[in-house]
Amino acid sequence: MGDTDAFGKLELELRRGVVVLATLSQLRAPRYGYELRQALADQGMPIEEGTLYPLLRRLESQGLLKSDWKTDSGSPRRYYSLNTDGRKLLKKLIEAWQGMNDAMGRLLKEDGQ
């Protein structure tokens, strides 16, 4: 039971660390919240709605995303996409992630996993 609790908490920590990168990576083209969530889930990164939708607003207020209301298919939807600063940040985050991923790959390999 204790192991399950610890795994759940630590996995949550790991996921928290990549939520922003995963979100930004899917906003190179405009997407609205529900569509983005589906896209992330389809690629194996489900993020709770209660986390994702506020995150989009926060990233926008931090000057990384731009958004527009569109009513193409009936009901109005707010579409988010990376702006210039967001693209620059995404590039840096990808480099940092790849560096960490390589290091973790080496570490886990050395550990015989």
Residues that bind other proteins (CB under 8 A): 32-34, 48-51, 53-55, 57-58, 61, 75-78
CB 84 → other proteins: shortest distance, Å? Answer: 22
CB 96 → other proteins: shortest distance, Å? Answer: 21
Contacts of 92 (CB under 8 A, 6+ apart): none
- Pairing label, strands 77-82, 31-32: antiparallel
| Closer by beta carbon to other proteins, 68 or else 102 | 68
Backbone φ, ψ for residue 57 (5° rounding) = -65, -40
The pair of three-digit structure tokens given for residue 89, joined into one six-digit string: 């940040």
| Closer by beta carbon to other proteins, 1 or else 51 | 51
| Closer by beta carbon to other proteins, 67 or else 83 | 67
Backbone φ, ψ for residue 81 (5° rounding) = -155, 160
